[in-house]
């Protein structure tokens, strides 16, 4: 069979055998299905990463809240100590 190349500025040059257009259709469908499956896998991985990031962010927010509470307590104690020193 003679190989013919489809030449176009918009598409890639694909080798196409004369009379095997159905084979190309099946090949393209298989490629599309394969890409679809890969995209599903990538979406799952992205979801896992996003969930992990959410957990990390929530723990960081909790840590920051705890630090703020400790700082406020320290500021109050510092204020009380300054007041007692002024009285003395």
List the domain boundaries for the chain.
22-87
What's the CA gap between 88 and 86, in Å, rounded? Answer: 5
From 18, 12, 47, select the one nearest 31 (Cα to Cα).
Answer: 12
What's the CA gap between 24 and 37, in Å, rounded? Answer: 20
pLDDT in tens, 4-22: 444 444 455 555 555 555 6
Judge if pTM exceeds 0.75.
no
33 compared with 1, residue with greater pLDDT? 33
One-letter-per-residue 3-state SS of 52-84: HHHHHHHHHHHHHHHHHHHHHHHHHHHHHHHHH
Question: What is the rounded average pLDDT of the residues 61-72?
Answer: 96
From 7, 5, 34, 25, select the one nearest 17 (Cα to Cα).
Answer: 5
pLDDT at 88 over 70: yes
């Amino acid at each position: 069979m003679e190989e013919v190349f489809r030449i176009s500025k918009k598409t890639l040059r694909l080798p196409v055998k004369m009379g095997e257009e159905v084979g190309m259709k099946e090949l393209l469908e298989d490629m599309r299905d394969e890409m679809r499956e890969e995209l599903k896998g990538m979406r799952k991985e992205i979801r896992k990463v996003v969930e992990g990031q959410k957990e990390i962010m929530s723990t960081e927010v909790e840590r920051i809240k705890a630090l703020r509470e400790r700082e406020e307590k320290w500021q109050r104690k510092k204020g009380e100590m300054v007041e007692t020193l002024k009285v003395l």
